[in-house]
């Protein structure tokens, strides 16, 4: 689970505003319609055997 998804709504809004600010002020991010964040997700699950 994303730690951001687990935040209260008001904190999610703060993070969203910080990202908007970064994307409009950072030289390598501004003026781009799409910004990619490549990452790898590992998923694990378990099942209780009875």
Which of helix, strand or coil describes residue 39? coil
Number of H helices and E strands in the chain, helices first, is 1, 0
* pLDDT over 80 (residue 2): no
What are the tens digits of pLDDT across the range 19-42? 899 989 999 888 888 888 788 888
Which domain range does residue 42 map to?
1-50
Cα end-to-end span (Å), the chain: 27
* pLDDT at residue number 4: 87
* Domain total of the chain: 1
**CA–CA dist 14, 20 (Å, integer):** 10
Mean pLDDT over all residues of the chain?
Answer: 88
Cβ(23)–Cβ(29) below 8 Å: yes
* pLDDT over 80 (residue 1): no
**CA–CA dist 47, 30 (Å, integer):** 45
Taking the model in full, what pTM does it have? 0.61
């Amino acid at each position: 689970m994303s730690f951001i998804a687990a935040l209260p709504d008001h904190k999610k809004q703060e993070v969203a505003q910080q990202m908007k600010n970064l994307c409009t002020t950072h030289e390598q991010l501004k003026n781009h319609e799409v910004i990619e964040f490549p990452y790898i997700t590992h998923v694990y699950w378990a099942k209780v055997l009875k």
